Amino acid sequence: MQLAAGRAAVFPAPMVFVLGILLSTPLWISQVGLYQYLALEIMIWMMFALGYNLLLGFTGLPSFGHGAYFGIGAYAFGLLQLKVWPNLWFDLFGAVLVAASMGALVALFISHRRGIYYALLTIAFGQVFWFIANKWHSVTGGEDGLLNIRRLPADLGIVSFSLTSNNALFYFCLAVFAVVLVALWRLVHSPLGRVLSAIKQNETRAAFVGYNVWLYKWLAFTLSAGVAGLAGALFAMAQQSAYPNVMSLHNSGFVVMMVLVGGGLVSFWGPVIGAAFFILARDLLGVYTETWLLWYGLIFMAMVIFKPDGIAGIWQAWRQRPSASRRALAAGAVVSTALVQRGADEAV
Amino acid sequence: MKLFEATGLSKRFGDQVVLEDITLHCEEGELVGIMGPNGAGKTTCFNVLTGRHKPDRGTVRFAGEDITGLAPREIARRGISRSFQIMNLFDDYSALDNVLIATPHVRKQGFNPWRDLGADSTAHDLAAAVLDSVGLAGKERAQARSLSYGERRALEIGVALAAEPRMLFLDEPTAGLGAEGTARLAELVASLRKRLTIMIIEHDMKFLFGLADRISVIHWGQVIAQGTPDALRQNEWVARSNLGTLA
B109 to chain A nearest CA, in Å? 6
Three-class DSSP category at B82: strand
B36 and B108, same domain (yes or no): no
Residues shown for chain A: 348
Last residue of a domain, one of B164, B197, B221: B164
> What is the per-residue pLDDT across B82-104, written as a single tens digit (0 to 9) for each?
999 888 999 999 999 999 999 99
pLDDT for A3 equals 56
pLDDT for B131 equals 95
What's the mean pLDDT in B22-30?
Answer: 94
Query: Is the CB of A190 less than 8 angstroms away from the CB of B112?
Result: yes
Mutation to test the A interface, candidates B86, B93, B125, B146, most A Cβ within 10 Å: B93
Is 70 exceeded by the pLDDT of residue B210?
A: yes
Is residue B88 a part of any domain in this protein? no
Strand partners, B66: B61
pLDDT for A141 equals 93
Residue type, A144: D
pLDDT for B245 equals 43
Q: ipTM of the predicted structure?
A: 0.92
- Number of A/B CB contacts below 8 angstroms equals 109
pLDDT for B119 equals 86
pLDDT for A324 equals 61
Strands B80-82 and B65-66: unpaired
pLDDT for A68 equals 97
Residue type, A52: Y
DSSP string for B122-188:
HHHHHHHHHHHHTT-TT-TTSBGGGS-HHHHHHHHHHHHHHT--SEEEEESTTTT--HHHHHHHHHH
B119 and B231, same domain (yes or no): no
B74 and B189, same domain (yes or no): yes
Neighbours of B148 (CB within 10 A): 11
B160 and B182, same domain (yes or no): no
Check: CB of residue A39 under 8 Å from CB of residue A180.
no
B227 and B171, same domain (yes or no): yes
pLDDT for B241 equals 66
Confidence of residue B237 (pLDDT cuts 50, 70, 90): confident
Is 90 exceeded by the pLDDT of residue B1?
A: no
pLDDT for A289 equals 87
- Domain span at residue B53 reads 1-79+167-247
Last residue of a domain, one of B118, B134, B164: B164
Instruction: Quote the DSSP letter at residue A242.
Output: B
Using 70 as the pLDDT threshold, list the residues of chain A that sit under it. Answer: 1-6, 323-348
Is residue B207 a part of any domain in this protein? yes
Confidence of residue B232 (pLDDT cuts 50, 70, 90): confident
Confidence of residue B247 (pLDDT cuts 50, 70, 90): very low
> What is the per-residue pLDDT across A72-120, written as a single tens digit (0 to 9) for each?
999 999 999 999 999 999 999 999 999 999 999 999 999 999 899 999 9
Give the one of A5, A8, A192 whose C-beta lies nearest to B113's C-beta: A192
DSSP string for A299-347:
HHHHHHHH-TTHHHHHHHHHHHSPPHHHHHHHHHHHHHHHHHHHHHHHH
Domain CATH number, residue B45: 3.40.50.300
B75 and B184, same domain (yes or no): yes
Check: CB of residue A213 under 8 Å from CB of residue A203.
yes
B135 and B100, same domain (yes or no): yes
Check: CB of residue B135 under 8 Å from CB of residue B154.
yes
B156 neighbourhood in chain A, CB within 8 Å: none
Name every residue in A having a CB less than 8 A away from some CB of B.
Answer: 1-8, 183, 186-187, 189-195, 197-198, 201-202, 204-213, 216, 219
pLDDT for B238 equals 73
Query: Is the CB of B110 less than 8 angstroms away from the CB of A216?
Result: yes
Burial of B136 (0-12, 13-18, 19+ CB in 10 A): buried
Which domains, and CATH codes, for chain A? 13-308 (1.10.3470)
B30 and B63, same domain (yes or no): yes
B52 and B75, same domain (yes or no): yes
Is 60 exceeded by the pLDDT of residue B45?
A: yes
Last residue of a domain, one of B129, B164, B199: B164
Three-class DSSP category at A52: helix
Check: CB of residue A247 under 8 Å from CB of residue A67.
yes
Burial of A321 (0-12, 13-18, 19+ CB in 10 A): exposed
Contacting residues for B181 by C-beta, under 8 A, at least 6 apart: B149, B150, B153, B174
A6 to chain B nearest CA, in Å? 4
B74 and B182, same domain (yes or no): yes
Mean pLDDT over all residues of chain B?
A: 91
Question: Which residue has better confidence, A150 or B237?
Answer: A150
A1 neighbourhood in chain B, CB within 8 Å: 92
Is residue B143 a part of any domain in this protein? yes
